[in-house]
Structure 1
Amino acid sequence: MKHLKHSLSILFFFLLPLALLAQKTASDSQSKTTLTWPGIASWKAIPSSSSTKISPDGKWFAYLLARADEGDAELIVQSTADSIKKTFKLGATTSADMAFSDDGRFLAYKVSPTEKEKKAKKKDDNLVLISLADSTKSKEFTQVKSYAFNGKKSSHLAVLLAPEEGTKPTDPKGTNLLLYDLANQRTQNIGNVAEYAFNKPGTWLALTLDARNQAGNGLLIQNVTSGMMLPMDTDEASYEALKWTEEGDGLALVKGKKDKKYKEKMYSVLGVKNFAGTPALTTYDPKKDSLNFPENMTISPDRDPTWTDDLTRLLFGIRKTTLADTTKKKDNQDENPNGISETEQLARIKADTTLKTVEQMTKAIAKIKGDGKDKDKPEKPDMTIWNWQDKRLQSRQQVQESQDKKFSFLAMYDPAMQKFTQLADSILRLVSPAPKQRYALGTDIQPYELSTNLDGQDYADIYLTDLKTGERTRIMENFYLPNRNARPQPSPDGTKFLYWKEGSFMVFDMENKTSRNITENVPTSFVDTEDDHNVQKPPYDVMGWSSDSKYVLLSDGWDIWQVAAEDMPAVKSRKKSTPALPYRNLTQNGKRDKIRYQDRYQLDPDEKGIDLSQPLYVRTYGEWNKKSGVTRFDPKTNEAKILLWDDAAVRSLTKAKNADYFVYSSETFAKPTQYFGTLSKDLTNAHQISENAPDFKKYAWSAGARLVDYVSDKGDTLQGALFLPAGYEPGKKYPTVVYYYEKLSQTLHNFSNPSYGRTGWNPGMYTANGYAVFIPDIVYRYNDPGMSAVWCVLPGVKAAIATDIVDSSKMGIHGHSWGGYQTAFLITQTNMFKAAAAGAPLTDMISMYNLIYWNSGGANGSIFEASQGRLEAPWNNWEAYQRNSPIYHAKNVQTPLLMLHNDKDGAVDFTQGIEYFNALRRLKKPVALIQYKGENHGLAKLPNRKDYSVRMMEFFDHYLKGMPAPLWWSEGVPKLELDEHLEEKAFSH
């Protein structure tokens, strides 16, 4: 008994600090302000990692601080060596358009009109140039369209001004370009510039001119060092699609001229090279090649032309043309069929006192003049013909109409041989050159396109084209593509490609036309067995080719494997000094310790393949503990070392272009994303270089997150993320909203930036307002997508209740789209939730199968059979569709349901929401449907996002917190009173 008392005393003293800490956290939280939906408008934060930049010399870190959805933003420029920080106004924007000069001496950024200026109809952006030596404004340019520093040279800034106000789309594209000398601070003005581009070294500037009446149109190139400008081609034509080679030693573009015979311009392709000496122009004009160039076609302006890497051939697209209507107008009566003079028309309009607006006057003029149509020609119907043999649904063709019109076939011109070769055609439409442009791979989906669009299973025939001869060979037939990692992936040297076949990775040698299995002897499987979609043996991720094209890096879902792409004798003969291995596990402990070595950080954006002589940095994630970090594999020691490993979400990792300075981001659910910088390749001694969400400390926030382990009703080991409310006190139970969308427990450490979401949901706002939030994982069984949610969510919720954090009498559920479907279904199977909110839910799987996914124009059937639906065709198993459809179990619903479904939803047809609403209404179940006119699958308009965010929380507040029911829920809003109701609820920043 004495020992027991002693043990209890030790336990008491151990637990006391934790209890005191919890009390202090709760006390601190209670002393802070609760963030409300109107308060979000003043919240500033870094939108994403793309809103940050590190200077090439690693001395400066720039980031955007923008309001959540509206209001003016700021650009912060922080020294990475000390506390020097400058703040610059950016106007009303949520994205940062900024660039450092390559030498790190200057920063340029665009300034948008402020909210106030936008209301005054100001449209154009300004450009500010900052000298980073003293962080002061060096120069400002007004009414700017675009800008660019001149690459590595970093001596000039090109600024293209916006067209003058009132410019019509049909007017010439040319405007003023200002070439600003950064050293001498002098500006050269070049007029009528339509396009401009520096080469990568920054030694040459290419310009196309487009002037009124095409006077002086042409291609100019300017030597940036000497200032010498050379007119390479001038004509009464348009010059478009400038494209430098990667190394900046070749330039290509297209030139278009009007031709009365055709509706479109007829184009030729221009190429310039020999920039080290005297630049030389190459021209290929199809009009002068009637023997080889196909009739009624022209070069496409919609595909950028380019030189091959060796500057021996030009690659470009060609497309069909349309013959012009040569029917001549009979006489002036066609333009004025009623024979009424312009003077009479104006007199009639002036005398008509019923015309009050410009629109009415315009209609009156049109009526007097007549519609100008040929009265003898019958009017065409406006209709669509749907046919069972259409490879693509008519709706799909309508969505892709613009893309189809711009489609072009790849072609090639060899100046030395003066030879044109068409590489793609109506038989083989898709041809892509491999690196180095010695070979090209063609993909023909036409034999399988109809079946693919029916059942979602992707197949193709693969062709190999010799780009020297144009010879084409089919090398694979009926090639199966279970996911994107299975597609052919060429090596950096362009001589072979990696592909996936029946559970193995293969390498095809394009020189010898031979294939070999490179993973058959590797002691692991690369089949993604965790993928529960209806596809056969999908592969895990391909990390990429090595830069020497000898190896590929592959993932087995846990570890990263280096696998030889050639047979071992060939590898050994090339690399005698180092023993070659057919494969090796670079990370070793992934599968053993349940650590996933995920994405490789590409620290050099210009790399061509993975340099295996340099360290590899990889994002690392703990599958069951949810830790994350960065691991570095050192090729010198052959060791993988974890550099960062924390109970946090470690995300981006970048490196300064010209210096060993590294920047990474880290966040937790209770702390906003911050960026850290270090000179250490081991990422040690990092210090914080951002101040994200500066108002964060003013508000009560979540006390953190818990990981909940549980087992599904089918025996699957799963997890859920449980987020604690602000002011959390141990032992106290809280109202809880359960949210889900397949697997999301990996979001345990994700910070939820306050915003008006497209679905009304924001977990951070709910925890800030006193709710716990639980997000369980769902895994799926084939032919049971709805029941899978029951088997996974309910056990997860029970495990969350067992933590004594969740109040089982005050639980709600919410999901959107596929999550909306899970919500609509779950409430037919259980009454454990007091309220449910479903956004854009699928409710009748049978009718949904045969509806259109209007955003893409495709049928839903293929999504059901090979993607998210996880069902076979309905006529093979009607019972599965009924068993998993909310509509067939509507009579079981006892949970009040709030639905969001918009009339222009292009993913889940609006009729799905209407079906369920009417069924529940007929059964006298408590249900409301919120419909925002003209909105798609999510809410795009800010007023709508604000409105629904508030309504959904009001709904949950009523059922889970006992607050009064809002009238729009308890009584509804008559149509005649809706405007007044909306005005009362609207709010702004």
Structure 2
Amino acid sequence: NPPAPRSGRPVEKVEEGTELVLYNLRNGREIRYAYVKDYLFSKNGNVLLIETSARNADTSSYASVIWVDLKTVKADTILRRFNDARSFAFDEEATQVAFNVERDSSSKAQQKFFKLYYFKAGMDTALKIAERATPGIQQGYTVSDSTMPEFSKDGNRLFLGLSQIRQPKDTSIPEFESARLDVWHYNDDYLQPQQLKQLRMEMGRSYKAVMSDDKKSVIALGATDAENIYLVDEGNADFVIAVSSKGNRIESQWQGFAKQTAYLISLKDASRKVIKEKHRGQFTVSPKGKYITWYDGTAKHYFAYNVKTGISKNISQKIMVPLYDDEDDHPDDPPSFGTIGWLADDAALLINDRYDIWQLDPDDKKAPLNVTSGYGRKNRIVLNYVRTDREKRFFEPNETLLLSAFNRNSKDDGFYSKKLGANGDPLLLSTGAYSFTAPMKAKEAEVYIVSRMTAQQSPDVYSATDLKSFTRLSEINKQQQDYNWYTAELVKWKMFDGKMSEGLVFKPENFDPKKKYPVIFYFYEQDADGLNNYRAPAPSASTINIAYFVSNGYIVMDPNIHYKTGEPGESAYNSVVSAAKFMSKFPWVDSTKMAIQGQSWGGYQVAYLVTRTNMFAAAGAGAPVANMTSAYGGIRWGTGLNRQFQYERTQTRIGSTLWQRPDLYIKNSPLFKVDKIKTPLLIMHNDADGAVPWYQGIEMFTAMRRLGKKAWLLQYNGEDHNLVERRNRKDLSVRLGQFFDHYLKGAAPAKWISEGVPAVVKGVDYGL
């Protein structure tokens, strides 16, 4: 390092670090380091890297980076005199470290240029190896200050990030002289609201590059048309994969996705080779980098690209069962059931169908092998691999897989095992009327920790050595025994279209079949698989709390809903009203005291249903879409996305544009049939809703008010789609209880129901 100037460093106050204590748990030895701003332990625990600040009281002190050998506790200063050091990264063996440094700017400078420094054990000091003037870095780019350098697994390569140098804002122009606006352009990749939501990410965007072998130049890999770079074989391969959506982004406005092109990019000269163009979905790379695979939603099969030959093949075409969700009812290509992983040396790819696991030859020379022997499909048991080692990259040929097992008939949950390469069915470990979370396994022992629940038992923690028998380790909800809880049962009925459906019925623990109970139907899409899920009592974010209402004398039913393209409203009618007719036949149901409640998509369905039937005594709709013609072109302010794709391809399931089938948008919009409503409707729609435009709830309310219908609108100030603040959740819970108690139990109406709450008493009288 050059000698310090006589006057010392410039007198500019810095943020001083604090004391770091290094304590040896074996011998009790303690070492203290002063003015520490940041520190990093190597993965293998051999090295501690420390960044210290200068001291404001001592102008001869400087910020430093210190390398501490934890075997000897010897400390060496590897860099001094800088303003900022960040993004420290060790190699696998902790013999090398790289980090970003800024040395030349004042703390108030609008532009700061970082440089990449490198140190290897045995060197005297860290060396600057990359800056904006380094050969290979394009003019207008510099070393990214927000991207952590990365070594390849073998330590032979060092990757870094490059970012564009952006023009700083002209601070000489007074703020009041600067116009404030957003300019929307029809050729923008993304709409302005989405750009603004992504602004921080874009401002910090960097493009991956790699240092040359001699660390004297940089090879740029990423670019504006290769924005996503993925290392292959943990960076050991001589190429990377680049994926770009450039040129395909505008249509994401109405498609909900952008097609992508994948390339191989050489680490020697950054030359490119196209793998596949304009693909919908993700590309994955085999562990050793021999193959790139993808699922083609239109062909409904998996494909593999052989890096050596450059040939792509359909590797699942010989499988006769669907590898996609054949029950998916959206007007779009159905999703696949996903991949599991690779065998060692990229020998085979493991994938899922709905029930079973398959082994595919990436060169399509060997026939596909059903690893689980079709056991899942024969028994309607969904078998999925349980990943207990997050660092595991591949499977050995004779390895035993741990499988989760969900029975679609009984809704039981449990575990099986299956040895790769062995014939026969999977081996049952345990199963029952439970719901399990994914087990966690000890790293060096056959010991598991898992959470298990039922509708009556909250999720407690259990240990197991074989996942056959379980030892309970916790009892977190003993106080539940003091309350009237609920039971859950699976029921099935025939819908109006003649097809069977299923749903869940929740009854009070003290249920008396001789009594008549009011019923609330809560629904969204399909929840029946959650028969054994525990539902805790809690203040409501938007929907009825099942445990609370059932404990207080209600029956709650949650019916599955089955959809037809272009008919979301009538699909809800077919599913929900048929369920209500089914329930009304039971002698313990008061068919004159039934209600419906839902939030968001469920809220829309509630709003539609009250225009089609008068059989419900009350209804609650949270954040409902009332008018699809106005909501279609709206913005989801939480993400900045336009809503068109939702109506054409996803949840709303219209299947056409507004211009192709305006009749379907009108037919499925509750707003146009408000005159038919006779059911009292409680709407909740919050003024900061980032998912469903707030004006949708207002349109519904003002239409009902105009026509003299009974309607209430709860607008929680500053709240999003679902309530976050506990005080508001408690308030909504009280109002939901009061509303349904009044209409289903005959309780006297609360003041807010009978009279409202004028603005002049807001915050003083809540009308409760």
Does the alignment reach a TM-score above 0.5?
yes
State whether structure 2 residue 700 is matched by structure 1 residue 932. no
- 2:635 aligns with 852
- 1:315 aligns with 159
State whether structure 2 residue 617 is matched by structure 1 residue 617. no
Contact 1:306-1:315 at 8 Å conserved across structures? yes
Aligned match for 1:963, one of 730, 734, 747: 747
- 1:188 aligns with 31
Partner Cα separation in structure 2 for residue 673 and residue 210 of structure 1: 47
Q: In the TM superposition, what are the counterparts of 1:371-410 in structure 2 within 5 Å?
A: 379-410=177-208
Per-residue deviation, residues 628-685 of structure 1 (Å, max 9, x unmatched): 1112113375441222211121223111222211122221112211222122x2x233
In structure 1, runs of 5+ residues without a counterpart are: 1-169, 328-371, 482-486, 569-579
- 2:269 aligns with 469
State whether structure 2 residue 435 is matched by structure 1 residue 642. no
State whether structure 2 residue 550 is matched by structure 1 residue 767. yes
Partner Cα separation in structure 2 for residue 811 and residue 727 of structure 1: 20
State whether structure 2 residue 294 is matched by structure 1 residue 493. no
Contact 2:451-2:459 at 8 Å conserved across structures? yes
Relative to 1, partners in 2 of residues 1:419 and 1:582: Cα closer, same or farther, differing over 3 Å? farther
Per-residue deviation, residues 123-171 of structure 1 (Å, max 9, x unmatched): xxxxxxxxxxxxxxxxxxxxxxxxxxxxxxxxxxxxxxxxxxxxxxx95
Partner Cα separation in structure 1 for residue 173 and residue 421 of structure 2: 78
- 1:219 aligns with 65
Q: How far has the Cα of 1:385 moved from its partner?
A: 1.6
Partner Cα separation in structure 1 for residue 169 and residue 260 of structure 2: 39
Which deviates further from its counterpart, 259-268 or 848-857?
259-268
Per-residue deviation, residues 26-75 of structure 1 (Å, max 9, x unmatched): xxxxxxxxxxxxxxxxxxxxxxxxxxxxxxxxxxxxxxxxxxxxxxxxxx
Q: CA RMSD in A?
A: 2.4
Aligned match for 1:252, one of 89, 92, 98: 98
Which deviates further from its counterpart, 310-319 or 888-897?
310-319
The one-letter code sitting in structure 1 at the alignment partner of 2:277 is E
The SS at the match of 2:38 is: strand
Partner Cα separation in structure 2 for residue 731 and residue 645 of structure 1: 35
Which deviates further from its counterpart, 926-935 or 439-448?
439-448
- 2:677 aligns with 893
Q: How far has the Cα of 1:249 moved from its partner?
A: 5.2
The one-letter code sitting in structure 1 at the alignment partner of 2:116 is V
Structure having the higher helix fraction is 1
The one-letter code sitting in structure 1 at the alignment partner of 2:742 is H
The one-letter code sitting in structure 2 at the alignment partner of 1:940 is V
- 1:737 aligns with 520
State whether structure 2 residue 584 is matched by structure 1 residue 801. yes
Partner Cα separation in structure 2 for residue 549 and residue 565 of structure 1: 8
State whether structure 2 residue 88 is matched by structure 1 residue 242. yes
Q: What is the TM-score when the length of structure 2 is the normalising length?
A: 0.92
Partner Cα separation in structure 1 for residue 634 and residue 561 of structure 2: 26
Q: How far has the Cα of 1:727 moved from its partner?
A: 1.1
Q: How far has the Cα of 1:258 moved from its partner?
A: 3.4
The SS at the match of 1:980 is: coil
Partner Cα separation in structure 1 for residue 596 and residue 54 of structure 2: 61
State whether structure 2 residue 364 is matched by structure 1 residue 519. no
The one-letter code sitting in structure 2 at the alignment partner of 1:593 is N
Q: In the TM superposition, what are the counterparts of 1:429-444 in structure 2 within 5 Å?
A: 429-437=227-235, 438=237, 439-444=239-244
Contact 1:666-1:674 at 8 Å conserved across structures? yes
Relative to 1, partners in 2 of residues 1:609 and 1:279: Cα closer, same or farther, differing over 3 Å? farther
Aligned match for 1:284, one of 120, 129, 144: 129
Q: How far has the Cα of 1:791 moved from its partner?
A: 1.4
The SS at the match of 2:163 is: strand
Partner Cα separation in structure 2 for residue 421 and residue 672 of structure 1: 55
Aligned match for 1:592, one of 367, 378, 382: 378
Partner Cα separation in structure 2 for residue 792 and residue 171 of structure 1: 66
Partner Cα separation in structure 1 for residue 168 and residue 109 of structure 2: 5
Aligned match for 1:303, one of 147, 156, 167: 147
Partner Cα separation in structure 2 for residue 644 and residue 862 of structure 1: 43
Q: How far has the Cα of 1:379 moved from its partner?
A: 1.9
Partner Cα separation in structure 2 for residue 464 and residue 287 of structure 1: 26
Q: How far has the Cα of 1:323 moved from its partner?
A: 4.9
The one-letter code sitting in structure 2 at the alignment partner of 1:300 is S
Partner Cα separation in structure 1 for residue 658 and residue 534 of structure 2: 41
Relative to 1, partners in 2 of residues 1:865 and 1:382: Cα closer, same or farther, differing over 3 Å? same
State whether structure 2 residue 292 is matched by structure 1 residue 507. no
Aligned match for 1:666, one of 436, 452, 468: 452
Which deviates further from its counterpart, 775-784 or 543-552?
543-552
The one-letter code sitting in structure 2 at the alignment partner of 1:453 is Q
Partner Cα separation in structure 2 for residue 562 and residue 909 of structure 1: 46
The one-letter code sitting in structure 2 at the alignment partner of 1:235 is R
Per-residue deviation, residues 253-285 of structure 1 (Å, max 9, x unmatched): 2112334897322112233445xx779855423
In structure 2, runs of 5+ residues without a counterpart are: 1-12
State whether structure 2 residue 431 is matched by structure 1 residue 633. no
- 2:485 aligns with 701
The one-letter code sitting in structure 2 at the alignment partner of 1:509 is N
The SS at the match of 2:478 is: coil
- Size of the alignment, in residue pairs? 746
The SS at the match of 1:449 is: coil
Contact 1:457-1:535 at 8 Å conserved across structures? no
Q: How far has the Cα of 1:811 moved from its partner?
A: 1.2
- 1:449 aligns with 249
Q: How far has the Cα of 1:235 moved from its partner?
A: 2.4
The SS at the match of 2:36 is: strand
Partner Cα separation in structure 1 for residue 512 and residue 333 of structure 2: 49
Relative to 1, partners in 2 of residues 1:908 and 1:178: Cα closer, same or farther, differing over 3 Å? same
Partner Cα separation in structure 1 for residue 202 and residue 169 of structure 2: 22
The SS at the match of 2:304 is: strand
Aligned match for 1:478, one of 254, 278, 281: 278
Q: How far has the Cα of 1:536 moved from its partner?
A: 2.2
Relative to 1, partners in 2 of residues 1:497 and 1:850: Cα closer, same or farther, differing over 3 Å? same
- 1:815 aligns with 598
Relative to 1, partners in 2 of residues 1:961 and 1:726: Cα closer, same or farther, differing over 3 Å? farther
Relative to 1, partners in 2 of residues 1:583 and 1:456: Cα closer, same or farther, differing over 3 Å? same
Aligned match for 1:954, one of 731, 738, 743: 738
The SS at the match of 1:875 is: coil
Partner Cα separation in structure 2 for residue 324 and residue 588 of structure 1: 62
Which deviates further from its counterpart, 471-480 or 212-221?
212-221
The one-letter code sitting in structure 2 at the alignment partner of 1:891 is D
Relative to 1, partners in 2 of residues 1:861 and 1:586: Cα closer, same or farther, differing over 3 Å? same
- 2:392 aligns with 607
Contact 1:898-1:929 at 8 Å conserved across structures? yes
Relative to 1, partners in 2 of residues 1:287 and 1:463: Cα closer, same or farther, differing over 3 Å? closer
Relative to 1, partners in 2 of residues 1:272 and 1:497: Cα closer, same or farther, differing over 3 Å? farther
Contact 2:92-2:155 at 8 Å conserved across structures? no
Partner Cα separation in structure 2 for residue 608 and residue 273 of structure 1: 28
Contact 1:195-1:242 at 8 Å conserved across structures? no
The one-letter code sitting in structure 2 at the alignment partner of 1:443 is V
Q: How far has the Cα of 1:853 moved from its partner?
A: 0.7
State whether structure 2 residue 17 is matched by structure 1 residue 174. yes
Partner Cα separation in structure 1 for residue 14 and residue 653 of structure 2: 52
Q: How far has the Cα of 1:612 moved from its partner?
A: 4.8
Contact 2:413-2:436 at 8 Å conserved across structures? yes
Q: How far has the Cα of 1:395 moved from its partner?
A: 1.0
Contact 1:456-1:865 at 8 Å conserved across structures? no
The SS at the match of 2:319 is: coil
Which deviates further from its counterpart, 728-737 or 310-319?
728-737
Per-residue deviation, residues 289-336 of structure 1 (Å, max 9, x unmatched): 2x4222232211212111112212211211122356899xxxxxxxxx
